[in-house]
A and B are shown apart, each in its own frame.
Chain A
Amino acid sequence: GNSVTQMEGPVTLSEEAFLTINCTYTATGYPSLFWYVQYPGEGLQLLLKATKADDKGSNKGFEATYRKETTSFHLEKGSVQVSDSAVYFCALPYSSASKIIFGSGTRLSIRP
């Protein structure tokens, strides 16, 4: 069945640094791929998504490209801010598409 493997954290960066959080997947076919973000004490919210191969999802300065050759969906941001401190989850649907599975999450902390 489908699965997702995510870079372990925590990740600590200085403000304005470049961010990459790795995510690779195993899937039947080409399901949509998602990045969710969880700010402290809150539920998750969708950050961005890509629905087909070579699509690039983007939001709030974050980007991720759906790469079927490397089965990856890495999250990137060119210049992080303190307000980006959160836990980031890569996700994709189960094979049946009736539910979504999440990676283990990567905690990101940004130093001023």
Chain B
Amino acid sequence: DGGITQSPKYLFRKEGQNVTLSCEQNLNHDAMYWYRQDPGQGLRLIYYSQIVNDFQKGDIAEGYSVSREKKESFPLTVTSAQKNPTAFYLCASSIASPNTGELFFGEGSRLTVL
């Protein structure tokens, strides 16, 4: 079945460590996104990519990095520079313009910093 797969579902990290969250899609979508969700808050955009080998910062990119070497994959690295990384991370994809289509989301990755 087509969809978006995020892994791991749960991740624990010690302070000072980098961690990479995986996001893979087989929907043949050009655009991919990373959002962060904190309790009681909406979704905040971290990074997005409209095409392979290109990506843009969202509203809260500091302390995060991404790559888009393949159309299907858009991994997110949470670096030690991210001051408060404990959160629920959601990956999504869409046909190039979200204005006419919809976002398809993965089931999320919950990161806890110990």
Whether B33 pairs with A99 at a CB distance below 8 angstroms is: yes
**Bound complex: CA of A26 vs CA of B17, how far in Å?**
40
Asked whether, in the complex, the Cβ of A44 is within 8 Å of the Cβ of B50, the reply is no
Residue interface mask B27-70, A partner, CB < 8 A = 1? 00001010100001111010010100000101000000000000
A103 CA / B37 CA spacing, docked (Å): 12
Instruction: For the complex, give the distance between the alpha carbons of A42 and B45 in Å.
Output: 18
Residues on B with C-beta less than 8 A from A6 are: 42
A41 to chain B, nearest CB (A): 8
Instruction: Please give the distance in Å from B108's CB to the nearest CB on chain A.
Output: 5
Is B108 in contact with A98, judged by CB distance below 8 angstroms? no
Which residues of chain A come closer than 8 Å to B107, judged between CB atoms?
A: 41-43
| A43-B105, A44-B103 known; A97 vs B98 contact (CB < 8 Å) | yes
Which residues of chain B are within 8 angstroms of A104 by Cβ–Cβ distance?
A: 40-42
Interface centre among A36, A51, A99, A105 (most CB of B within 10 A): A99
Is B90 engaged at the interface, CB distance under 8 Å to the other chain?
yes
A interface residues (Cβ-Cβ under 8 A, vs B): 6, 31-32, 34, 36, 41-46, 49, 51, 89, 93, 97-105
B84 interface residue (CB < 8 Å to A): no
Cβ contact within 8 Å between B102 and A49: yes
B18 within 8 A of A: no
Q: Beyond the given A32-B100, A43-B90, A44-B90, could you list 18 further A-B residue pairs with CB under 8 A, ordered by the A residue number?
A: A31-B99, A41-B108, A42-B107, A42-B108, A43-B6, A44-B105, A46-B102, A98-B31, A98-B50, A99-B45, A99-B58, A99-B98, A101-B45, A104-B40, A104-B41, A104-B42, A105-B41, A105-B42
15 contacts between A and B (CB under 8 A): A6-B42, A31-B99, A32-B100, A34-B102, A43-B105, A43-B106, A43-B107, A46-B103, A51-B100, A93-B98, A97-B98, A98-B97, A98-B98, A102-B43, A105-B42
